[in-house]
């Protein structure tokens, strides 16, 4: 297979960016999108040119580091997968593919296709944890949890923090990410001691980082490679209202 690539190049966060066009040939339809970029970079190195910077780690759809905007869609045209899971057979032979970094004020470009997503880490640090007693591990059945609640919490915990929801949202909102991280703890009894403090701190941090507000467009759910539901955004709002009514400190809006 042969493709024309229109790829965003940017030397650094304070440098102007531009699109550059490349051609790749002899691409197997079973190659992943990142493997195709590896092939292109090997050719650029052979030509003594600067290879294209892009993020990746596990290449198994687990870590979320590989996020790219491909033809205007976060992670590309196939639903329910990350960029590293996307195969070249999803694109017509000979087609033009436009590749950009995730676009959001809270995700500054570091170089080329690499963005700084540490804002998501700071939201987690603001309250995405629970209090635990040190010592030996408690018995697994010490706190009985109904199966449907446990599954709902695990569905929210499936979020890998890739930032596709932010990139897809017209407001660059992190509400789906934050809602999922709040939900996975709010649903379980282990998360209740910090319940009020958690939601207010995490939502406040989301605003501090410069993410936009959610306006229920739903693009976040459509772009999420793990199928995280916008139900978690509604739960975050309910948790926030509950926290305010029980005496939490108001600063942000959800």
**Residue 139 pLDDT exceeds 70:** no
Whole-number Å distance between alpha carbons of 183 and 176 = 10
* All CATH 1.10.1060.10 domain ranges in the chain, comma separated: 118-245
For the domain bounded by 118-245, which CATH number is listed? 1.10.1060.10
Tens digits of per-residue pLDDT, 169-209?
Answer: 999 999 999 999 999 999 999 899 899 999 999 999 999 99
Contact indicator for 41, 9 with CB cutoff of 8 Å: no
**Structure tokens belonging to residue 1:** 């297979």
**Residue 224 pLDDT exceeds 80:** yes
Is residue 247 very low, low, confident or very high in pLDDT (cuts 50, 70, 90)?
A: confident
User: Averaged over 137-148, what is the pLDDT?
Assistant: 77
For the domain bounded by 3-111, which CATH number is listed? 3.10.20.30
Whole-number Å distance between alpha carbons of 8 and 216 = 29
Whole-number Å distance between alpha carbons of 242 and 131 = 20
Q: Print the SS3 string covering 199-252.
A: HHHHHHHHHHCCCECCCCCCHHHHHCCCCCCCHHHHHHHHHHHHHHHCCCCCCC
pLDDT at 44: 98
Contact indicator for 162, 67 with CB cutoff of 8 Å: yes
Tens digits of per-residue pLDDT, 64-93?
Answer: 999 999 999 999 999 999 999 999 999 999
Is residue 134 very low, low, confident or very high in pLDDT (cuts 50, 70, 90)?
A: low
User: What are the beta bridge partners of residue 115?
Assistant: 109
pLDDT at 140: 60
* All CATH 3.10.20.30 domain ranges in the chain, comma separated: 3-111
**Structure tokens belonging to residue 12:** 């650094």
User: Averaged over 8-29, what is the pLDDT?
Assistant: 96
Distant-in-sequence, close-in-space partners of 253: CB < 8 Å, separation ≥ 6:
207, 213
Question: How many other CB atoms sit within 10 Å of the CB of residue 62?
Answer: 12
Q: What are phi and psi of 28, to 5 degrees?
A: -70, 140
């Amino acid at each position: 297979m042969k493709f024309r690539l229109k790829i965003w190049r940017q030397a650094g966060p304070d440098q102007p960016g531009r699109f550059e066009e490349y051609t790749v040939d002899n691409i197997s339809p079973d190659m992943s999108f990142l493997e195709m970029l590896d092939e292109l970079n090997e050719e650029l190195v052979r030509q003594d040119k600067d290879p294209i910077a892009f993020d990746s780690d596990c290449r198994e759809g687990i870590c979320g580091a590989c996020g790219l905007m491909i033809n205007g869609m976060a992670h590309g045209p196939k639903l329910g997968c990350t960029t590293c899971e996307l195969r070249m057979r999803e694109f017509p032979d000979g087609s033009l593919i436009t590749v950009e970094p995730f676009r959001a004020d809270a995700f500054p470009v570091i170089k080329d296709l690499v963005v700084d997503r540490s804002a998501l880490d700071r939201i987690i640090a603001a309250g995405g944890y629970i209090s635990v007693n040190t010592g030996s591990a408690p018995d697994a059945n010490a706190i009985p949890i109904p199966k449907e609640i446990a599954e709902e919490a695990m569905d929210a915990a499936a979020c890998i923090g890739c930032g596709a929801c932010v990139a897809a949202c017209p407001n660059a909102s992190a509400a789906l990410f934050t809602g999922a991280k709040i939900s996975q703890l709010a649903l379980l009894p282990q998360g209740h001691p910090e319940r009020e403090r958690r939601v207010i701190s995490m939502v406040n941090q989301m605003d501090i980082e410069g993410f936009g507000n959610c306006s229920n467009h739903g693009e976040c759910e459509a772009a999420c490679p793990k199928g995280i539901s916008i139900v978690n955004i509604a739960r975050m709002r309910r948790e926030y209202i509950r926290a305010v009514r029980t005496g939490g400190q108001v600063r942000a809006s959800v």
